[in-house]
Structure 1
């Protein structure tokens, strides 16, 4: 077997493999003989079909089958011989036979060579959580609002009230699509509507009509409405006052608390707040490190890996619509996901380089410690840990996560970290 490799463009390479045709011809002959022993053809007894008849009827198909198997096997051998680790599956470009030789070419991409920039001078903010009693009380009020009820109020609407409204949105005097609603319930101050909409309803009473002027945000999801000035004709049909539940046994039980005492419940809430904030703080530092690495290291993303990532992003997008959604991921345009996919691939390549250079490993001890801590919030931690150990794919995801965390730590250990005290709500802010 003779192998040659040439650069095509960027990360793309073309491999040409030449093989003697004799071996393939011998395999074809043998497979035709084997087929003659078991094939059934009218006019011949089983096992007595002449080889010439089988060759005439099935020879071309058998040869194509053997050719495909030979090419795939030889491609694997050639990649191993040349110590090539392609980025994505190589594609067979051409196949030809001449002068007792089979020659085929395969096109593939290689992984980019990455030389990490020095971490010297790197500097990041390291948030330090400070939870006050006021933070906990604010969280308790937020939990109460989740269970709030509303009672009819014979007065003008104010913040936290729930109003029932009919409205029609207009731009330049013309109603626009999806800009109207009837019997819509809205909690004032919830931020559910665009800026200015909820404020415009404050002070209105049941039966009152009002036209308010608002402007759609520049980053609004609808291209047709971005930055547009609009008017909404609003009729309030009902005003209801918010009633918060008591902090009692029933309330604590609704949130799965282990205790029925207020002070103990507060401690449980505080513990959960610390856990949530810690995760958010870790994510922010990780994102800052990744952004710095991306800025300081230029990495070409192999198109094959980017295409694979586009496929995963399409699947994720469909899953976000929920079960029962009849959307074929392949119908979504690639351009919607291309930039995000390319970024993901580049980040993955950079993380892998940090891991490789620093010879990082996800040890059994680290995996066990992570799973033990993660499972502690569940009712049956042992079963959760067992689930991961009995599912190799899930376990590999944990190992990948630990390797990524280790890579981030390598960077932060070499960097200057500026401690910044933050409240819980600052910590979880995007």
Structure 2
């Protein structure tokens, strides 16, 4: 392998012209011939025994070239990239220049990490939302328990909104019953708006044993057969039931929770609600900090880099579903999504991920952050406990460099979060520029490994 030329192109691309010697390419062609000769039938020869020259004479001298190129170029590309000290961040674009008796020459366009700058990352205008829980909030948390414990009780009076009526009904269009317009012993909550407009309203005031005729009109956006049509529903009311809520006291608390008193139950509801809100506020704060940090990053991301990361995101997404026995295409059909829509979302996520990593790496460099051996050891231990693996298994899956990278970014995040201003400054401060160029990912497929986060 020989790198004939190296040229810098637009969009963080390097074009390499790579040569594979005649001897190397001939060896690849011979290898392909030996692998495939048993599949080629040649008159006068037993299958698998036809000489290469005979086959090439029949099918052309380049009959084995395509497979030989596929066999030889990956290693030649990898050697060239290593020789030139390049760190690919996307799949290469390969163009065959020449293949023949003189060897193989091809162009490889390699996308590398772009240059980027970060501005003032301390004092970003981000504030964490204050979390409070009021008595009203706790009462609202209590409502679902009350609703589940509420019973419907038959009453001897006219139906009102909020009651449930047990009815038979049948719909008629110009005196003819229409399909799908009939029901028996149907429980209908008045005011639920589960039937077409004016149906439920027409039953307000009805009593058990009463027959009603309701003149209603189907909405214009209903099924084509009935859209906009005036019809008559004949309704028989069997029962009127009203909801009776339970007495909310200590006995109620015992019935619906593990607590002996209502006060203890409410205290627990408030505590859990506060924890949920604090978690949501923390997540929103982290997202806002990330948005603000990306906002002071200056970079022109190569599209090839974004596409490569998006492909990885989609592949991991598909693997998660398929590990549960759900083919990815079936998941798309079930959810009504398209691959194009998924790819658009993956590209947006990929761009955000890459920019976040760049910004945090720049902060870590600016702050001269370091990770000690003790911190790495502690992280390996935590990862082993989290994934229920031995530390040796974790170390085999996650390299020390990967762990250090995660820990550095974690430290960088804390520095940025701890320095936020909590309010937007009146004037934008001059941006302090730092430059960072660093390997963050390889184009080769990485082994699946537990995250160090």
TM-score bucket (shorter structure) = 0.5 to 0.7
1:124 equivalenced with 2:134 (yes/no): no
TM-score, with structure 2 as normaliser:
0.58
Q: Which residue of 1 aligns with 2:434?
A: none
Q: Which residue of 2 aligns with 1:222?
A: none
1-structure distance, mates of 2:127, 2:357: 24
Q: Which residue of 2 aligns with 1:352?
A: 357
Q: Which residue of 2 aligns with 1:280?
A: 280
SS at 2:5 equivalent: strand
Q: CA deviation at 1:285?
A: 0.6
The two structures, once aligned, show a CA RMSD in angstroms of 5.7
Q: CA deviation at 1:152?
A: 5.5
Q: Deviations over 1:11-68 (max 9, x none)?
A: 455432122122221454477679999x99999999xx86x62564499676544432
2-structure distance, mates of 1:367, 1:213: 65
Q: Which residue of 2 aligns with 1:171?
A: none
Whether contact under 8 Å (1:19, 1:103) holds in the other structure is yes
**Larger Rg, first or second structure (1 or 2):** 2
Q: Deviations over 1:244-275 (max 9, x none)?
A: 457244422xxxx4x55544444443342233
Q: Which residue of 1 aligns with 2:78?
A: 76
1:84-123 to 2 correspondence within 5 Å? 84-97=86-99, 100-123=102-125
**Residue 314 of structure 2 is aligned with which of 311, 314, 322?**
311
Q: Which residue of 2 aligns with 1:53?
A: 51
**Residue 327 of structure 1 is aligned with which of 320, 325, 330?**
330
1:3-402 to 2 correspondence within 5 Å? 3-29=4-30, 53=51, 56-57=54-55, 64-97=66-99, 100-146=102-148, 148-151=150-153, 154-155=157-158, 157-158=160-161, 204-205=204-205, 241-244=242-245, 247-252=252-257, 257=258, 259-299=259-299, 300=301, 302-303=303-304, 304-305=307-308, 307-308=310-311, 311=314, 315=318, 327=330, 329=332, 333=338, 335-337=340-342, 339-357=344-362, 358=364, 359=369, 363=376, 365=378, 386=388
2-structure distance, mates of 1:405, 1:185: 55
Q: Which residue of 2 aligns with 1:423?
A: none
1:231–1:40 distance in 2 versus 1, CA, 3 Å: closer
Q: CA deviation at 1:341?
A: 3.0
Q: CA deviation at 1:356?
A: 2.0
Q: Which residue of 1 aligns with 2:3?
A: 2
Q: Which residue of 1 aligns with 2:431?
A: none
Q: Deviations over 1:56-98 (max 9, x none)?
A: 4499676544432210111111122223222322232325225
For structure 2, the 5+ residue unaligned runs are: 172-180, 207-211, 222-227, 424-453
1:212–1:33 distance in 2 versus 1, CA, 3 Å: closer
2-structure distance, mates of 1:105, 1:296: 36
1:307–1:14 distance in 2 versus 1, CA, 3 Å: farther
Q: Which residue of 2 aligns with 1:422?
A: none
For structure 1, the 5+ residue unaligned runs are: 169-179, 217-229, 373-381, 419-430
Q: CA deviation at 1:150?
A: 4.1
Q: Which residue of 1 aligns with 2:442?
A: none
Q: Deviations over 1:178-216 (max 9, x none)?
A: xx9987967858xx99xxx89x969945568687999x9
Q: Which residue of 2 aligns with 1:175?
A: none
Q: CA deviation at 1:135?
A: 2.9
2-structure distance, mates of 1:325, 1:30: 37
1-structure distance, mates of 2:230, 2:321: 33
1:78–1:406 distance in 2 versus 1, CA, 3 Å: same
